[in-house]
Amino acid sequence: MRVLFTTLREKSHFLPLLPFIDAFQRGGHEVGVASPPDLAERVAATGATFLPFGHPGDEGMRPHWARLRGNPGGDINQIVMADIFAGVCAATALPGLLDTLATWRPALVVRETHEFASVIGAEKAGIPHVRIGITSRAAENETAGFVTESLDTHRRTVGLPPDPEGQHLRDEVSLTLFPASFESIATPPSRRLRFRTARPAAPPLPDWWGGRAEPFVYVTLGTVTGRFGEMQAHYRATLEAIGALPVRALLTIGNDLPLELLGTVPANVHVERFVPQDEVLPHAALVLNHGGSGTVQGALAAGVPQIVAPLFADQPHNAAQVASSGVGLGLPVGGAPVEQVRKAVVEVLEQPRFRTAAHKIAAEIAALPLIDESAAAAARLAAV
């Protein structure tokens, strides 16, 4: 079967697709990936066929990102989803994607949650489509409410009837690595197919701290936070919160944050641009993170308690769910006082109930079918 994956250009959107791309290839399927040209090298590394589509580019995105700085609170997500992802990104992607669907002719389209041109293109071409749920169901449900008007605009441009309630999007089958107990919105099992990835043994943790033996805390604010000037202060505040605690901490900062903005790094903290999280999560006593779905899901699978300090996007949903499921604590959106972060770290490390709850969810994930079965499930969908 020929399968086309579609994604936006951000690494945080593409990386959750990799386990599924690998699984489909192991299942003998021919895999292509359609995305903006920025991902050409990453796609090539998977062995999949790269099929580029358009993107507004940094200059085209600039006025849209500028709007965010003047719109506080809940408006941010609506602008990102409706105006950017389902708006200008989908509009520039759609012409090239329609050409790819007509010439490469996949039997199935598999999109990540925030790539919307494929929803329109696949329906127009009469090709089945599913999504990879790279966010939790609560975040997806909110997104569906934001994007229907933008998607109806695209539907009109290709001659499709309007769908003002977004029913076509809401009925879409999704594949996810999130367990049912972590998702607050119930979804019929036939519409939300859950899988797990194999978890190979992690290599030993490097001794970045010169023989210190305190609990290991993995700290990450994601791969893109550092590019936004108004959010860069969160890194310094995080260092202040954990620098005075009896822990060993690894802080990953992504590719965009200027190192000088960190100031003096405490002796108990080691800084890296990026590490594969599966290599460090099994060693962690706690993950202090921004609430990105990839990090949250990885910590759940590893059975590690979490503290979520959400900033934007799906992160507040994940913070709330981490707290309600008992696996950790959620902090206020947009930044908590240093002392509140410090107290939260101490509480989660000292109270065993958080680790007990984390282990329970990890066991639930371990009982799910392996991700290799996702290819067969998707093949059945394509045959319907």
The domain that contains 282 carries what CATH number?
3.40.50.2000
The verdict on residue 202 lying in a domain is: no
Q: Which of 29, 158, 166, 41 is nearest to 90 (CA)?
A: 158
Both structure tokens of 249? 């901490």
Residue in this structure with the two tokens 């929803």, named with its chain if needed: 119
Is there a single domain that holds both residue 360 and residue 377? no
Residue 305 vs residues 16, 186, 302, 314, 362: alpha-carbon distances, Å: 21, 24, 9, 19, 11
Is there a single domain that holds both residue 13 and residue 136? yes
Q: What total number of domains does the chain contain?
A: 2
Is there a single domain that holds both residue 91 and residue 228? no
User: pLDDT at position 348, please?
Assistant: 97
Is there a single domain that holds both residue 253 and residue 290? yes
The verdict on residue 113 lying in a domain is: yes
The verdict on residue 208 lying in a domain is: no
The verdict on residue 211 lying in a domain is: no
Is there a single domain that holds both residue 187 and residue 225? no
User: pLDDT at position 337, please?
Assistant: 84
Both structure tokens of 92? 């520039």
> What span, in angstroms and rounded, lies between the C-alpha atoms of 377 and 3?
13
Is there a single domain that holds both residue 230 and residue 349? yes
> What span, in angstroms and rounded, lies between the C-alpha atoms of 54 and 301?
35
Torsion (CA) 372, 298, 142, 184 in degrees, nearest 10 = 90
User: pLDDT at position 383, please?
Assistant: 65
Is there a single domain that holds both residue 189 and residue 227? no
CA quadruple 211, 283, 136, 4: dihedral sign: positive
User: pLDDT at position 226, please?
Assistant: 42
DSSP string, 118-186: HHHHHHHHT--EEEE--S-HHHHHHHHHHHHHHHHHHHHHTTPPP-TT-HHHHT--EEESS-GGG-SS-
Is there a single domain that holds both residue 191 and residue 321? no
The verdict on residue 182 lying in a domain is: yes
Count Cα atoms within 13 angstroms, Cβ side, for 88: 15
The verdict on residue 209 lying in a domain is: no
Q: Which of 278, 299, 282 is nearest to 290 (CA)?
A: 299
Is there a single domain that holds both residue 239 and residue 264? yes
Q: pLDDT truncated to tens, each residue of the chain (384 aa)? A: 999 999 999 888 999 999 999 999 999 999 999 999 999 999 999 999 999 999 998 888 888 777 766 555 557 778 888 999 999 999 999 999 999 999 999 999 999 999 999 999 999 999 999 999 888 777 888 888 899 999 999 999 999 999 988 888 888 899 999 999 988 777 777 788 999 999 889 999 999 999 999 999 999 986 555 445 455 667 888 899 999 899 999 999 877 777 887 888 999 999 999 899 999 999 999 999 988 888 999 999 999 999 999 877 778 889 999 999 999 999 988 777 889 999 999 999 999 999 999 999 999 999 999 999 998 888 787 665
The verdict on residue 176 lying in a domain is: yes
- Strands 248-252 and 174-176, how do they pair? unpaired
> What span, in angstroms and rounded, lies between the C-alpha atoms of 288 and 348?
10
Both structure tokens of 52? 């580029």
Question: Taking the CA atoms of the chain, what radius of gyration do you get in angstroms?
Answer: 21
Is there a single domain that holds both residue 165 and residue 228? no
Both structure tokens of 97? 């994607």
The verdict on residue 284 lying in a domain is: yes
Both structure tokens of 199? 């978890």
Full residue range of the structural domain in which residue 302 is found: 216-366
Which residues, other chains included, contact 147 with Cβ-Cβ below 8 Å and sequence gap of 6+? 81, 82, 85, 86, 116, 166, 169
Is there a single domain that holds both residue 7 and residue 85? yes
Is there a single domain that holds both residue 138 and residue 266? no
Backbone angles phi, psi at 220, to 5 degrees: -145, 140
* SS3 of residue 58 by DSSP: helix
> What span, in angstroms and rounded, lies between the C-alpha atoms of 183 and 322?
10
